[in-house]
Structure 1
């Protein structure tokens, strides 16, 4: 009888030890990321390492299986199948944009201040984490190498571009400047997509191309669309004032029907920023944004082109390209000192 009791106690203790170890492993793997949020990201095929994450862009899959290329390839010459979609700050962002296709803490009823920033890793470690996670994803396609092609698959395992834009706000990672430089030393180009709130960081960094999202034209529209603060909006305006002195820069406006689709309200801010390019993109009803917006909130591509053509006479920008499948239009600065070739010479960066 005593042996049976001892065995039960030992089994119970073993279960407790295993559960405790599982919790410790989870805490080690996802420091300060709410478990519910982490589980959703993993179900969406995010590879996560501490505060960094990588997810295979759908266009890489299309490049593998359908031999198609993304609009960044069409506009700028990116090799779609050699591009990493990653972030050093997977859940940390100052905004909660209505159109964001990522899962937001607010979607899950999570009060963002309840989770703090993690212990940020050194940039060398983050770069290796991002490359390792991407390699893990690509290796999963080795089983269909006959469909992809040996040469294309091999090239995909040797990425040449990284877009720090997957989720979160990349400039919140305190060593973003060093991370960019590490990728450049590895001969990997960088695209950084920022909300523009941290002006001091924007002034410092020099990625291959710097994007700043400009999805509102005044404070009320900003609060409605991005759910940010008045201070955040002022910081974005400050950022617009420094972009004209930087290298390759691009504003990105995501347009939502009947909310911010009057581009004439943006023209003053566009000219103020004096960037090289503007991408005007329709909101796409995908991911978690479907819980906040509807299919009818998307802009038809022909309408998007008309909207962009209509602002040519009101701004210093003109339409130079478009990509119907992604519902995006590219405009270029017409001022002599800001005109650059949209196609990037990656071999001589």
Structure 2
């Protein structure tokens, strides 16, 4: 009975064990099965491969020549290879390694014949004298007259006012439409913004980070060039060379979507250029209608031809554009290295670079445009202009904000620059896009002594023309004939000039103070800069994207350069008075950017921060960038932003206070409290507050020159001037009571006891 009972209990125990450990048992069994299966597979596969690769011992083998498919045959159907048409007689294979030839083709839409929703013509032009702009407007009117439901009215853009990244790094996104580019380009033998545009196209093509054909999304493009055949009779001699170059790069960037051949117009024959432009316009219009109807760009390769035309079949993708093209000599089919008995003649003479050209030649339209704006061009690349505040100060109607902040009387100040070229195209700049731009100095260099003599002589000549202006005070006119200060800003980038330190030394030798302004794009130049009275750096944005939209820098590594300049400023903070100049542009760089500006201040630690509202000059450049009076902040908005910036700085352990203001210029000055809020020196207090701390933003210019001429190191604190005047302090407006404020009709404005608004 006990035996039977134990037998019946055994299955229950097994069942219990199964339920308790069935998961582990199943997983173990599966793992063992998989290992066994893989082992069998590997052993079988190894044996099978061995049987295939090695015949049985003593088995006869028929040795046949191994047929290897040629490179061209193996790439017959590849996208980047164009198969040749087979000839009746097969070509004999050439000895030696094969070379794959051909051109890499850009990716194309899956259905190129699909009907487009709409064609958006976008017309780009560049002009210095205005003639190309007139042709562009005429073309826009002509295209507007032929618009259809599928061909939209054209958009017009001046390349001097256009951010290239918005249109030439990728296709602009417009829902339901596809853009069609038209470019009207003159040719100049001087440096203009057009050179930077062509350089942008070239760099985009060679930038490995950018797609091979970033503009392949265009419906098509076409270029029309303007030239003067009396000066350049043929293309080889320079006729429309810049249009030809733009057409070449556009062909590559669009994946060969040239919709209509490159057009040429000779401006020396006005009737001829209008006729050629009319024919080109008709052809472009017909192509756009075909595209809208889904007919595409025509048969064969897209566009009118390859990127390389005029019989040039060389694959330029493999040739550096800056190197001379290689020439090949014909050799017999059986030629080999041993057959080359004589050495190949090689010319080791270094190629002579083209001589540098003047930045602004006297015969150029740039020279004409700048002189029309009131500039005196000195030499080939410098300029001087009389500031409106100089005229105001001569008449006793007030000086600029630098008088309130630093004690500079405007009628004693000269505004000049040793470089009319700039590396930015700021949206608020009043240069009208007429001065040259560039990222490196490639022009002739004038000696600093000639520049110094030229700018001072031109400034005095301009001052003398004001002696008969009604209201000019005799004492101030006499004082103005002795320059005491020089603002190296005006237009362009002064620090760009190769001999800037020598020019500064000449100014200092005549006891002329120097206020130098740079745009934080040349850190190496900034690091090598010698002593200046005060060093400005324009800080127009707190992040990379805002800086790109506002300053529109030409350097692609503009943000890295910008940050490196911040580090240079930090290194100079104990040897130079450094200033951040913040230009506030409403809807661009004000909203919620105080924190970003505070981070930059923490990195550079400038002595002063000028917070200034943008001055709208009403030019087409500003309008083209989307700037209007609506972007000009009010005085109270500048004050609110400065207060927000102070709070952000305080949170980072930085104590800056409002040291002075100039409400008329919509500008106030933040200064480091620890360094410039101090007890006045004995006898220097102007308000009777003995022993009380006061702001000291003014400069002792005589002391600056004593420190400079001593040859010993000195700091910004060593030439601090008298306390900031009471009328320049926060809440006082900043207008010197010794002057008279007037309205636009010359009538005096009563401001006593009233706060500036």
Asked if TM exceeds 0.5, the reply is yes
RMSD, matched Cα: 2.6
Partner of 1:179: 503
The equivalent residue for 1:195 is: 519
Structure possessing the higher relative contact order (Cα contacts under 8 Å, 6 or more residues apart) = 1
Cα deviation code 1:306-331 (max 9, x no counterpart): 11011212112222222111111111
Name the CA distance, whole Å, in 1 between partners of 2:560 and 2:439. 25
CA 1:299–1:34: 2 relative to 1, 3 Å: farther
Say if 1:271 and 1:159 are closer, same or farther in 2 by CA, change over 3 A.
same
| Residue from 602, 621, 631 that aligns with 1:271 | 602
Unaligned runs of 5+ in 1: 1-15, 17-27
Which structure shows the higher helix fraction?
1
Equivalent position of 1:280 in the other structure: 611
1:274-309 alpha-carbon deviations (Å, 9 max, x no partner): 010011111111153543310110000111001101
Gap change, CA 1:34 and 1:290, over 3 Å in 2: farther
SS in structure 2 of the partner of residue 126 of structure 1: helix
Q: Which residue of 1 is the match for residue 672 of structure 2?
A: 333
Deviates more, 1:68-77 or 1:315-324: 315-324
Distance 1:327 1:114 in 2: 32
153, 165, 168: which is aligned to 2:492? 168
Listed as ranges, the matches of 1:210-249 within 5 Å are 210-228=535-553, 229-246=555-572, 247-249=576-578
Task: Please tell me whether the aligned partners of residues 448 and 502 of structure 2 are also in contact (alpha carbons under 8 angstroms).
Answer: yes
Shift of 1:176: 0.6
Aligned to 2:376: 47
Question: Following the alignment from structure 1 to structure 2, what is the Cα–Cα distance between the partners of residues 74 and 153?
Answer: 21
Are 1:32 and 1:117, in contact at CA under 8 Å, matched by a contact in 2?
A: no
- From the superposition, tell whether residues 46 and 221 of structure 1 become closer, same or farther in structure 2 (CA, over 3 Å): same
* Aligned position for 1:304: 638
Report the alpha carbon displacement of residue 214 of structure 1 after superposing the two structures with TM. Answer: 0.9
> Offset of 1:42 from its aligned partner?
1.2
- Contact kept? 2:452, 2:507, Cα under 8 Å: yes
**Counterparts of 1:12-161 in structure 2 under 5 Å?**
31-32=360-361, 35-49=364-378, 50-90=380-420, 92-105=421-434, 112=437, 117-144=442-469, 147-161=471-485
Distance 1:40 1:287, change over 3 A: farther
1:22 aligned partner: none
- Counterpart secondary structure, 1:299: coil
Superposed CA offset, 1:104-148 (max 9, x none): 249xxx8x569974311111111111101101100101224x732
Cα 1:273–1:116, aligned 2, differ >3 Å: closer, same or farther?
closer
Corresponding residue for 1:257? Answer: 586
Residues matched between the structures, number: 317
Instruction: Give the distance between the partners of 2:661 and 2:595, measured in 1 at CA.
Output: 19
Instruction: Say which is worse superposed, 310-319 or 124-133, in terms of deviation.
Output: 310-319
In structure 2, the gaps of 5 or more residues are: 1-229, 231-356, 679-694, 705-757
TM-score, length-scaled by structure 1: 0.84
User: Per the alignment, in what secondary structure is the counterpart of residue 314 of structure 1?
Assistant: helix
Q: Is the 8 A contact 1:103 1:287 kept in 2?
A: no
Q: 1:114 and 1:188 mapped to 2: Cα distance?
A: 30
SS of the equivalent of 2:548 reads helix
Q: Which moved more, 1:316-325 or 1:134-143?
A: 316-325
Give me the whole-angstrom Cα distance separating, in 2, the residues matched to 1:266 and 1:99: 19
> In the aligned structure 2, how far is the partner of 1:161 from the partner of 1:105?
27
Aligned-partner Cα distance in 2 for 1:185–1:238 = 31
Q: 1:223 to 1:114 in 2, by over 3 A?
A: closer
Q: Name whichever of 238-247 and 177-186 sits farther off.
A: 238-247
Rounded Cα–Cα distance in structure 1 between residues aligned with 2:546 and 2:438: 23
Three-state SS of the structure 2 residue aligned to 1:166 is coil
